[in-house]
Amino acid sequence: MKPKKMAVTTILAAVLFTGLPFVVDSESSYLVFFLFVTFINITVVQGWNLVGGYAGQVSLGQHAFFGLGAYITAITWLRGFGGYFDPLAMILSGLGAAILAIGVGIPLLSKLRGDYFALGTLGLGEILRVMFTQGGTLTGGSVGLLLPSGVYESMKPYYFVSLGLAAFATLAVYFVVKSHTGMALIATRDDEIAAETTGVDTLKYKVLAFSVGAFITGLGGSLQAYYLFHIHPAGFFSLKWALYPILMSLMGGAGTIFGPILGAFFLTGVFELVNIWLPEAHPIFSGGLIVAVMLFLPNGLIRLRLKRSFSKKGERKEVK
Amino acid sequence: MPGFLSFHSLSQILINGLLFGTMYGIAAIGVSLIFGTMQIIFIAQGAMIVLAAYLTFWLFSLFFLDPFLSIFFIVPAFLLLGGGLYQVLFRKVAYAGKNPSLLIAFGFMIMLENLMSLLWTPNTRAIKTSYTAYGIEMFGLQVSFTRMVAFFLAILATIVVTFFLKKTLMGKAVRAASEDLGAATMIGIGTHWVNSTTFSIGIGLAGLAGVATAMTFPFDPYFGFIFSLKALIAVAFGGIGSVWGALVGGILLGVIESLGFYLLSGVWADGISYVVFLLVLMLKPEGLFSGFKRIA
């Protein structure tokens, strides 16, 4: 998209989404709920997009960061350090996830083979689920933690915080990508050895992308914790939170700013519809959709219009 | 309380781990072979194993077919299925980088798991034959008959696969392609054909592992993902691309788990195998026995 058109679209979207809860009744409107879900999805999708789409490192363990963020929020609240919509607790949730990402990312990403990273992150999510299931009174075991849900007043704060998070995630990815770091990430993705040869410290940038992505995902987990008031390992360390970001990102176009947003809107809509009409077929459908997208639409929806397709070898081209 | 570990109970734990680990071993050989030629992590291997287990269960409860006999139906069917899967799902993206094929395998796994759960309900199933409870007493140790048979089936399958890779022309082509894809193409080896063959063998082994699983352990539709993870751990132990390494890695994992299960509680034991997995990936990703040759 051209910068001017992009700016106009962004401002229009911002005005539209900010004004919406004042126009419709936010407590009963399905639209507000739908947008809330979509914004959380956009947040975690952008978290994956930075590391998977731009840095080219497929993380299969975003649910580890999502769950960790949710648990940090819940535990700080129950122990009296945080509270309802405490910005400090939310930042702490993101930071916890980012620190975990740095700790795991350095050894896993220092190998040139991306597969080790994919496998290791998958293992990470499973380890965290076991740890939090076994965490005793601190994590509440498999039942999880119950937060005081009496503080719930209105849907409005959820809507605005989710909108804010989605905007923050998108802007964070935008600024990282526009900077020197973004160039290094894309160079690493397209040809890691060549990037290394030209003096790019690939490990540093990969870990950076991974931890920023984890920070964003942790924030998303934190908000979800405030919304559900019940944090349990099966729900928050569910593979769904690893799967959806990948799917939405690829569907819209990984490695672009707007593609993942498009993918999040589209797939959240599809999933909500499937959930209503065919709840038991939902996971079959999303699994099949990944396969179909990769086979028939490997560049994502957004690149259909841009007509920039795979180069001969199949690497993605940067789309400005 | 596991404070005291006698020689007898230690050997019993080791034997159980060994027998359990061979299951991981056969699953791991398939994963390792597919990775060796195609650089694909076929994460749906476990789901295929569970599919074979369900088919065995189905043949047993509807047609009263003995699980041992169902090997002769399921393994050939899975050999064919493997080639078909490659042609339908992976041929198109085989050389488009590894992310598309990884994600296709992931999506396929989710689809398969939930399809099985829809078709056969998410309840845990197990096969009870007249000889399921039968045990053999060896050197004062209790060994389950079906697990013993599964163990020998695994060894036999590994020998057959090694023989195939070493002695047949097809096997040599597979080894050549996994060693150097470019050079193999240059001397006229059709890479799609080689990939299709490895997929056949890998899925065929999944069929065998599935029958063995159905005979020896209770299973449910979502058991496959854990199985895949365990197979990957075994591959990481054994070094990617090595057949015997995968089998030994699987057995090692079985023993570690069995010890962990005895010394700690059940769920923690699961966590321990993931921790060991992460440590191996971080510290020695070329495998614990990296002196071994790459294939076979």
Chain Cα centroid distance, residue A240: 11
Confidence of residue B203 (pLDDT cuts 50, 70, 90): very high
Residue A286 and residue A243 in contact, taking contact as beta carbons nearer than 8 Å:
yes
CB atoms closer than 10 angstroms to residue B94: 20
**Per-residue pLDDT tens for A61-74?**
899 999 999 999 99
pLDDT confidence of residue A66: 94
Q: Which pLDDT value is given to residue A210?
A: 93
- Identify the contact set of chain A against chain B, taking CB-CB distances under 8 A: 52, 56, 58, 60, 104, 107-108, 111, 113-116, 118-120, 122-124, 126-127, 130-131, 133-134, 239, 243, 246, 250, 280-281, 283-284, 286-291, 294-295, 298, 310, 313-315
Helices (H) and strands (E) in chain A, counts: 14, 2
Average pLDDT of the residues of chain A: 83
Mean pLDDT for B223-240 is 81
Distance CA A315, CA B17 (A): 44
Beta bridge partners of B143: B136
pLDDT of the residue at B219: 81
Q: Answer whether residue A230 is part of any domain.
A: yes
Confidence of residue A317 (pLDDT cuts 50, 70, 90): very low
- Domain of B37, in residue numbers: 7-283
Lowest mean pLDDT among A32-46, A245-259, B259-273: B259-273
Most confident residue range from A59-68, A132-141, B177-186: A59-68
pLDDT over threshold 50, residue B295: no
**Rounded to the nearest 5 degrees, what angle is found at the Cα of B223, between the Cα atoms of B46 and A141?**
135
In a domain, A94, yes or no: yes
> Average model confidence (pLDDT) for chain B?
80
Q: Does any domain span residue B1?
A: no
Neighbours of A265 (CB within 10 A): 18
Question: pLDDT above 90 covers what percent of chain A?
Answer: 26
Q: List the Cα angle A188/B97/B243 in 5-degree steps.
A: 110
What pLDDT score does A94 carry?
94
Please give the average per-residue pLDDT across B140-149, as a whole number.
75
**pLDDT score, position B267:** 64
Q: Kindly calculate the radius of gyration of chain A based on its CA atoms and give it in whole angstroms.
A: 19
Tokens representing A115 are 């597969």
Contact call for B41 and A118, based on CB within 8 A: yes
Can you point out the beta strands (E) in chain A?
Answer: 145-146, 230-231
How many CA atoms, within 13 angstroms, populate the side-chain half-sphere of residue A170?
A: 21
Minimal CA separation from A257 to chain B, in Å: 20
Q: Do the domain assignments include residue B296? A: no
Q: A63, A104, A106, A116: which to substitute to probe chain B, counting the most B Cβ within 10 Å?
A: A116
Best-predicted range by mean pLDDT (A87-96, A241-250, B25-34, B137-146)? A87-96
The CA angle A16-A21-A27, to the nearest 5 degrees, is: 150
The answer as to whether A306 is a domain residue is: no
What local confidence, expressed as pLDDT, does residue A313 receive? 42
Taking residues A231-238, report their average pLDDT. 86
Assembly ipTM: 0.75
Q: How many CB atoms lie within 10 A of CB B279?
A: 12
pLDDT at B273: 75
Residue B288 lies in a domain: no
How far is it, in rounded angstroms, from Cα B232 to Cα B250? 9
Q: With a cut of 90, say whether residue A126 has pLDDT above it.
A: no
Does the residue B289 lie in any domain? no
Number of folded domains that form chain B: 1
CATH number of B207's domain:
1.10.3470
Asked whether the predicted pLDDT for residue B100 surpasses 80, the reply is no
pLDDT at B107: 84
Q: What is the pLDDT of residue A117?
A: 83
Number of neighbouring beta carbons within 10 Å of residue A141:
16
Residue A256 counted as domain residue: no
Q: Has residue B133 got a pLDDT over 50?
A: yes
Whole-number percent of chain A with pLDDT over 70:
92
* Residue A9, in any domain of the structure: no
**What local confidence, expressed as pLDDT, does residue A114 receive?**
62
- List C-alpha distances in Å: A216 to A108, A152, B166: 20, 24, 50
Q: Where are the alpha helices (DSSP H) in chain B?
A: 7-38, 45-63, 67-85, 98-120, 145-167, 169-179, 181-186, 191-216, 223-238, 243-263, 266-283
Q: In this predicted structure, what is the pLDDT of residue A305?
A: 60
Quick one: average pLDDT of B111-122?
82
Q: Are strands A230-231 and A145-146 parallel, antiparallel or unpaired?
A: antiparallel
**Model confidence at A17, in pLDDT bands (50, 70, 90)?**
confident
Nearest to A293 by CA among A308, A304, A277: A304
Structure tokens at B192: 């799609």
Whole-number pLDDT of residue B132: 63
Number of domains forming the structure of chain A: 1
Domain assignment present for residue B129? The answer is yes
CB-count burial class (<10 Å; 0-12, 13-18, 19+) for A99: middle
Q: Which range is least confidently modeled, A32-36, A80-84, A249-253, B205-209?
A: A80-84
Instruction: Nearest by CB to B118, from A126, A284, A288: name it.
Output: A284
Determine contact, residues B236/B256, Cβ cutoff 8 Å.
no
Q: Is B135 within 8 Å of B144 (Cβ atoms)?
A: yes
Q: Residue A199: inside a domain, yes or no? A: yes
Pairing between β-strand A230-231 and β-strand B135-138 as defined by DSSP bridges: unpaired
Q: Label residue A320 by pLDDT band (50, 70, 90).
A: very low
- The verdict on a CB contact (< 8 Å) between B229 and A122 is yes
**Residue A94 structural domain:** 36-240
The pLDDT score that the predictor gives to residue B98 is 67
- With CA atoms as reference, report the closest residue to A210 among A91, A110, A317: A110
The rounded distance, in Å, linking the Cα atoms of B170 and B176 is 10
A305 contacts A256 by C-beta, under 8 angstroms: no
pLDDT value of position B266: 62
Closest Cα to residue A233, out of A97, A125, A107, A315? A125
> How many CB contacts within 8 angstroms connect chain A with chain B?
118
**Band of residue A156 on the pLDDT scale cut at 50, 70, 90:** confident
Q: Which residue has the higher pLDDT, A236 or A279?
A: A236
